[in-house]
Amino acid sequence: MDVHVTRSAVEGTARAPPSKSYTHRALLAAGYSDGATVASPLVSADTRATARAVTAFGGSVDPVPEEWNSETDAVEVDGFDGRPVVPDDVIDCGNSGTTTRLVTGTAALGDGGTVLTGDASLRSRPQGPLLDALSELGVRAESTRGNGQAPLVVFGPLSGGDVAIPGDVSSQYVTALLMAGAVTDDGVEVSLTTELKSAPYVDITLELLADFGVTADPVGSETADGAAGFSVPGGQTYAPEDGRYAVPGDFSSISYLVAAGAVAADPDGAVRIEGARPSAQGDAAIVEIAELMGAAVEWDREAGVIAVERSALSGIEVDVGDTPDLLPTIAALGAVADGDTRITNCEHVRYKETDRVSAMAEELERLGAETTEEPDTLTVHGSESDLRGATVDGRADHRIVMALAVAALAAEGTTTIRGGEHVDVSFPTFFETMADLGARVEREA
């Protein structure tokens, strides 16, 4: 689907969608339980994939994922109580790397073999370190093509043990081991062989596990940042208080609304974002980043409301080692700001739905931005950029599509974004939300 976004001013109130990261973990945690309600889930293609995986392992989800819609305010999960069955068929994870990694850990618990695959993009993403870790724990875990990428074959059962794993490729490997390790007989002790990237995402996992009554701890640190590893005792039971877990708002999605306000809010108005309550989400850093760039931002943490006014922005340096999903948003802000916006520690951002470093560099250049791309750094030269409408490719990546839409609000004329339908992965109502705020948006079937 092509989406046409014309330069326009925005103002008004929008509600943040529920967190994709929390929804994935909550659905799987409910699957590990003997039953739980997941309230306010994000309804998206990726979270449906996780729900289908829960069903494949012997749980059930009501309503079924195919019937989820914007009116779905809660999902009832009848879990498999820590003992997944061997699926009757291949598990298709679609485009969801989070689903693939988290349920690979679940597959390791089964007394037999599980095959996991997905679309072409997913089959290009690295899974090797997780497969190696499971093999070290006595599980047969292989890539069918021998390249560390899906399709994957996993034969359990996993009983627990000690394992070493790199932390600089994906924090989701750690999450998979911790979530599965809690229901093993012996528990799992994870040692990190490299510094952990995206540490806040493991903090999300630790927070959610605690909410489900599961103990898991970083080793050598109070939080995931700086931890030498993680420890999760075995024999635990997943059970949220009162059998219910409510998903918080998503700061990765909030980032696009914050950026839209900063670059395109009506001079006499502001963009207000509801559902922005504090949590372990590292992407809440977008508030501070926008402020450092000069945006007028107010965050009422108790009410969970952020207000953003259009401001003169200046380039800064941002390390995205812990917040990789913010790179596209920051790059879009940098294209509007004066001076250079230098995004560092971003090599791992190349291993997402697409190489997001190259994608943002190349697509922003189509809009008239000047960029410099290095292996671990993306610099956007705002003072040398003159944004004008053009046809850009969303690269079948929801975050690229939304970030380009933000840049398009500040570009002269109309920008056509190809692949606009991919926002369904994390923010299905993104373009409706932007239109409600006053953005001039037209969509083609």
Residue ranges covered by each domain of the chain: 3-17+249-443, 20-229+238-246
What share of the chain has pLDDT > 90, as a percent? 96
Whether the Cβ atoms of residue 336 and residue 387 lie closer than 8 Å to each other: yes
Q: In the β-sheet with 140-143, what is the strand arrangement from edge to edge?
A: 91-92, 113-117, 152-155, 140-143
The alpha carbon of 216 is separated from its chain's Cα centroid by a whole number of angstroms, namely 21
* Segment 64-72 mean pLDDT: 93
What's the token pair of residue 438? Answer: 């006053």
322 is catalytic: no
What's the token pair of residue 18? Answer: 């529920």
Give the pLDDT score at 439: 98
Is 171 assigned to a binding site?
A: yes
pLDDT in tens, 184-223: 999 999 999 999 989 999 999 999 999 999 999 999 999 9
Domain pair 3-17+249-443 / 20-229+238-246, same fold: yes
Is 7 assigned to a binding site?
A: no
Give the CATH number of domain 3-17+249-443. 3.65.10.10
Q: Note the pTM of the prediction, 2 decimals.
A: 0.84
Class (C level, CATH) for 20-229+238-246: alpha beta
Query: What stretch of H or E contains 253?
Result: helix 251-264
Question: DSSP 3-state assignment of 111?
Answer: coil
Considering the candidates 325, 340, 393, 397, report the single residue annotated as catalytic: 325
Give the pLDDT score at 330: 98
* pLDDT of residue 16 exceeding 90: no
Is 172 assigned to a binding site?
A: yes
Cα separation of 231 and 221, whole Å?
A: 12
Give the pLDDT score at 377: 98
pLDDT in tens, 29-50: 999 999 999 999 999 999 999 9
Strand-strand pairing, 305-309 and 271-274: antiparallel
What's the token pair of residue 130? Answer: 């997780």
Is 325 assigned to a binding site?
A: yes
Is 145 assigned to a binding site?
A: no
Is 8 assigned to a binding site?
A: no
| Residue whose token pair is 């953003």 | 308
* pLDDT of residue 445 exceeding 80: no
pLDDT in tens, 95-109: 999 999 999 999 999
pLDDT in tens, 388-437: 999 999 999 999 999 999 999 999 999 999 999 999 988 989 999 999 99
pLDDT in tens, 327-380: 999 999 999 999 999 999 999 999 998 999 999 999 999 999 999 999 999 999
Is 15 assigned to a binding site?
A: no
